[in-house]
Structure 1
Amino acid sequence: MRLTGSTGISGNPARICGIGLEEYIRKVEAFHGYAAPGMILGGFMVDLAVAQMGQGILFDAICETPKCLPDAIQLLTPCTVGNGWLRILSLGRFALVLYDKKGGEGARVYVDPSRLAPWPMARDWFLKVGPKEKRDLEELVGILCKMGSGPLGVQRVRVEPGFLRLSRHREFSICSRCGESYPNDDGPVCLGCQGQAPYSPVFPLPGK
């Protein structure tokens, strides 16, 4: 679903990582498929997090939810799942961390539910109150654009050294069962052959 332009954001001077709101929404629709409310709120979160990082600092990202927010990070920063600079940890919280690649110092941006009181519709959406299909997407997006970073909080954090080390290159071996490469520290065979793959092959592997 694409917005019709009646969200009331026209004339809103707010910017997200230097991008005007209307342009940002167009980018969201192209990248994410539609102007998801989580992408709108996520844009303001990324903008606030980037502002906490000093000039010239190379940062990585942690996202505490797999829903919407990772795409906002990938759209607005160099951090992606594919290049390894974004890691998604399903902690169940709509929050993100940007941190210095070397030292681990950074900023965590989160949504403070107590600050959502002035925006009941946004609060109900965020807390999953009521059926999703009854929400007016365009009205909700307009509200999220108006509230901007209002409900957001910032924490200074330091990423644990052990987590920083996890981003280093790992050694690989060939799995004795499937013949594919996998990280050595996953065990004697790959995780797929340990039964963690959510599927079963329909046809035999070539040469097996």
Structure 2
Amino acid sequence: MKIGKYEADEFLRIAKEFHGYDMPGLIVGGFMVDLALRNYPEGQFFNVICETSQCLADAVQLLTPCTMGNGWLKEGFTGRFALIFYDRSTGDGVRVFIDPRKLEKWKEIKVWYLKEKDKKEQ
């Protein structure tokens, strides 16, 4: 299974090195970025807005050319674990988010997302 251009195991290793430790949000974020990339027009430039200050921005920086430093990645704190890939000139884009109603298939992600366990137990 691939996450962006990486095999899943390689992404997990690189993500842990970049972030400092394993976090469910970074792993989920990798899949979200991958989904956005697959649904965004190929070859078209984009910027990204992360709607959370959690680990999602790290996944964006690992899998795209967008960083806080170059200004192509912004954080807009809406309290949602979501991201938007958009064309800066037209505003057209793709939004990816977690739908809590669909998390029954992924128990550990549900526990993390709904904060049913302390961070240290995850």
Task: Report whether the alignment pairs 1:56 with 2:49.
Answer: no
Contact 2:24 2:109 in 1 (8 A): no
* Count of aligned pairs: 122
Q: CA shift at 1:134, angstroms?
A: 2.7
- Measured in 2, the distance between the counterparts of 1:133 and 1:63 equals 24
Considering only aligned residues, what root-mean-square deviation do their CA atoms show, in Å? 1.1
Scaled by the length of structure 2, the TM-score of the pair is: 0.95
> 1:85-124 alignment to 2 at 5 Å?
85-124=72-111
Q: TM-score, normalised on structure 1?
A: 0.57
**Structure 1 residues without counterparts, runs of 5 or longer:** 1-13, 136-208
Higher relative contact order (CA 8 A, sep 6+): 2
1:131 equivalent among 99, 118, 121:
118
Q: Could you tell me whether the CA contact under 8 Å between 2:48 and 2:74 is conserved in 1?
A: yes
Structure 1: 4+ residue segments shifted above 4 A: none
| Partner AA of 2:101 in structure 1 | S
- Secondary structure of 2:95's partner? strand
Higher normalized helix content (fraction of residues): 2
Find the aligned partners of 1:121 and 1:86 in 2 and give their Cα distance: 28
Equivalent residue number for residue 71 of structure 1: 58
Amino acid of the structure 2 residue aligned with 1:82? G
Q: Are the aligned partners of 2:47 and 2:72 in contact in 1 as well (CA < 8 Å)? A: yes
- Structure 2 CA distance for aligned equivalents of residues 86 and 33 of structure 1: 20
**1:81 offset after TM fit, Å?**
0.7
For 1:78 and 1:36, the matched residues in 2 are separated by: 22
What secondary structure, in the 3-state scheme, does the structure 2 residue paired with 1:117 have? Answer: helix
Residue 124 of structure 1 deviates from its aligned partner by 1.3
The alpha-carbon deviation at position 104 of structure 1 amounts to 1.1
Q: Percent of pairs identical after alignment?
A: 48
Q: After TM superposition, give the deviation of residue 108 of structure 1 in Å.
A: 0.1
Q: Distance in 2 between matches of 1:98 and 1:22?
A: 25
Comparing 123-132 and 51-60, the one that deviates more: 123-132
Amino acid corresponding to residue 26 of structure 2 in structure 1: M
The one-letter amino acid of 2:37's match is V
Q: Which amino acid aligns with 2:102?
A: R
- 1:76 Cα shift? 0.6
